Amino acid sequence: MEKNDSGWNLENTYAELPKLFYTPLEIEAVSAPKLVVLNQRLAENLGLNAAALMEQDGINILAGQALPAKAKPIAQAYAGHQFGYFTMLGDGRAMLIGEQITPAGERFDIQLKGSGKTPYSRSGDGKAALGPMLREYLISEAMHYLGIPTSRSLAVVTTGQPVYRENILKGAVLTRVAASHIRVGTFEYAAQWGTTADVKALADYTISRHFPWLLSEPNRYLGLLDAVIKAQAALIAKWQQVGFIHGVMNTDNVTISGETIDYGPCAFMDHYDPTTVFSSIDLQGRYAYRNQPNIGLWNLARLAETLIPLVNDNQEQVLKLVEAALQNYPSLYQEDWLQGMRLKLGIVNEEPQDERLIADLLGLMKQYQADYTNTFVDLTLDRTQSSELYESDAFNVWRDRWKARLEKQEQTDQDIKIIMKQANPVVIPRNHQVEKALQAANEQDDFKPLQRLLAVLQAPYDYNSLNPEFMTPPEPSNHPYKTYCGT
């Protein structure tokens, strides 16, 4: 297949790194895969021809059973701290076929997830099931349209082969598109099993790919650390603002680019409770909603350790520099978070009491188990439907404080409404809606609910077509929602 008919325009710069960082893969054609969902808009942005991707030749590529021109399939090696424990990992069920250069000149990894065994598969089968791949597709696209940096999803295809878990499931492959798949765990891997020259090669590659302006800096490696700290602080602040719980913030799932990656057990919070955990394996609540910012710092400290030999030869000085960089994280995070929360309340200037105002609202939301997303929508629309929260005296006192605070800025009510509409999504991928769409796809081969949900999630800030079906939280249940790692 040539560039002209399908638009593939691949390069393979990652494979120019030392051999330690990857293993070349063979592909094998085994069955006739079927297309389940294709992201036509993303295809277009990547310079790919959607019509060609929908033909069998195109689908075979999306299933990892054929290669486009200039593809060089590899599995990436990486390590990671999983729930605090260091271990060797690597792409056990994914292959990078290359980096697509878009018509705008951008570079994106094209990775097939669920494409089969690799040398890093350990005891796994290298495969993925349809449900979890569709889940990643839905939630990653929702995150993108919410305005949160994330890997994207180009397509899901079924392989025609079964995947054996507790049940027999349909095998599927997700085409993941990301600024890169370089993780904190990639640096940990280099530091643990490579030489300082290997860490340096990875750092230089990362800098030229993601932070090219650092190339002329006197201490580019410290600059790299600062840049990742900034990107992760900004990212996690955005997660908190929409109630997103990643679920498995292991260092192998933390990107250097600052994109959200690895949509396994993630989910959005309905009623506000900072202790919320959805992942069935997170028994200690390590990755609970309220812990995400601190875990972000813990993960960045693991990155910092790997960069120490590159920053400076003077051990004492280098530790000081690296510690100072990490110490910036809490205030960077807090500023990003506060700024975002102010906008959610229509506040554009800064007052010292703002933090208290926000904390008091969150406290009331927790006390009355108010829906996180909908409370901000109600404030935006000035709705006071009957609810325990809105009828409470404490809320009404808070509301007067908020209104008085808004008076302290020049913006008109109308301006404030516009600001709030841009900061408060009307729809998020509600767990029960996601489950419903996946069930129809999985059990009845009915992809219409999935497509409908996707369409709604593509316009999360659209206040013109409020659809109660997608805004309503689930009925209270005695069985809290549980998520599973997407194997």
Dihedral sign (CA 293, 361, 479, 470): negative
Q: Which is nearer to ligand AMP, 187 or 333 (CB)?
A: 187
Q: Which is nearer to ligand AMP, 153 or 433 (CB)?
A: 153
Q: What residues from 329 to 368 belong to the interface with ligand AMP (CB under 6 A)?
A: none
Q: What residue 411 binds from ligand AMP, Mg ion, none (CB within 5 to 8 A, per partner kind)?
A: none
* Cα 142 to Cα 136: distance, rounded to the nearest angstrom: 10
Q: Determine the size of the site formed for Mg ion (CB under 5 A).
A: 2
- E strand or H helix at 155, and its extent? strand 152-164
Instruction: Please report how close the Cβ of residue 62 comes to ligand AMP at its closest, in angstroms.
Output: 19
Catalytic residue among 91, 109, 226, 252: 252
Q: Which is nearer to Mg ion, 132 or 425 (CB)?
A: 132
Among 126, 171, 247, 425, binds ligand AMP (CB under 6 A): 126
| 124 belongs to the binding site for ligand AMP (CB under 6 A) | yes
Q: Which is nearer to ligand AMP, 458 or 487 (CB)?
A: 487
Cβ(159)–Cβ(172) below 8 Å: yes
* Cα 132 to Cα 152: distance, rounded to the nearest angstrom: 15
- E strand or H helix at 160, and its extent? strand 152-164
The counts of H helices and E strands in the chain are: 18, 12
> Given the rule CB under 6 A, which of 48-56, 246-254, 318-326, 396-404 is the region that contacts ligand AMP?
246-254
* Cα 186 to Cα 210: distance, rounded to the nearest angstrom: 15
| 76 belongs to the binding site for Mg ion (CB under 5 A) | no
Q: How many residues does the chain have?
A: 487
> What is the CA angle 384-414-455, rounded to 5?
75
| 253 belongs to the binding site for Mg ion (CB under 5 A) | yes
| 246 belongs to the binding site for ligand AMP (CB under 6 A) | no
Q: Determine the size of the site formed for ligand AMP (CB under 6 A).
A: 18
Among 98, 194, 258, 264, binds ligand AMP (CB under 6 A): 264
Q: What residue 485 binds from Mg ion, ligand AMP, none (CB within 5 to 8 A, per partner kind)?
A: ligand AMP
| 487 belongs to the binding site for ligand AMP (CB under 6 A) | yes
The contact pattern for ligand AMP, residues 363-382, with x = CB under 6 A and - = no contact, is --------------------
Instruction: Please report how close the Cβ of residue 99 comes to Mg ion at its closest, in angstroms.
Output: 19
The contact pattern for ligand AMP, residues 78-97, with x = CB under 6 A and - = no contact, is -----------xxxxx----
| Residue nearest Mg ion (C-beta atom) | 262
Instruction: Please report how close the Cβ of residue 80 comes to Mg ion at its closest, in angstroms.
Output: 7
* Cα 357 to Cα 255: distance, rounded to the nearest angstrom: 33
- Of 247, 37, 245, 25, give the one whose Cα is nearest residue 130: 37
Q: Which is nearer to Mg ion, 262 or 282 (CB)?
A: 262
> What is the CA angle 78-194-263, rounded to 5?
10
Cβ(459)–Cβ(143) below 8 Å: no
Instruction: Please report how close the Cβ of residue 82 comes to ligand AMP at its closest, in angstroms.
Output: 7
Dihedral sign (CA 86, 201, 19, 73): positive
The contact pattern for ligand AMP, residues 456-485, with x = CB under 6 A and - = no contact, is -----------------------------x
For residue 339, what are the CA distances in angstroms to 348, 350, 377, 436?
8, 9, 18, 35
Q: What residue 124 binds from ligand AMP, Mg ion, none (CB within 5 to 8 A, per partner kind)?
A: ligand AMP
| 127 belongs to the binding site for ligand AMP (CB under 6 A) | yes
Cβ(234)–Cβ(258) below 8 Å: yes
Cβ(260)–Cβ(253) below 8 Å: no
Instruction: Please report how close the Cβ of residue 484 comes to ligand AMP at its closest, in angstroms.
Output: 10
| Long-range interactions of 85-89: CB distance < 8 A, separation 24+ | 86/188, 86/192, 88/120, 88/189, 88/193, 89/120, 89/185, 89/252
Q: What is the dihedral of CA 9, 15, 17, 19, to 10 degrees?
A: 180
Q: Residue 252 catalytic?
A: yes
| 262 belongs to the binding site for Mg ion (CB under 5 A) | yes
Q: Tokens in use for 82?
A: 């999983």
> Given the rule CB under 5 A, which of 91-99, 245-253, 305-313, 390-398 is the region that contacts Mg ion?
245-253
Q: What residues from 154 to 213 belong to the interface with ligand AMP (CB under 6 A)?
A: none
Q: Provide the binding-site residues for Mg ion, judged by CB under 5 A.
A: 253, 262
- The contact set with ligand AMP (CB under 6 A) reads 89-93, 120-121, 124-127, 248, 252-253, 262, 264, 485, 487
Q: Which residues are catalytic?
A: 252
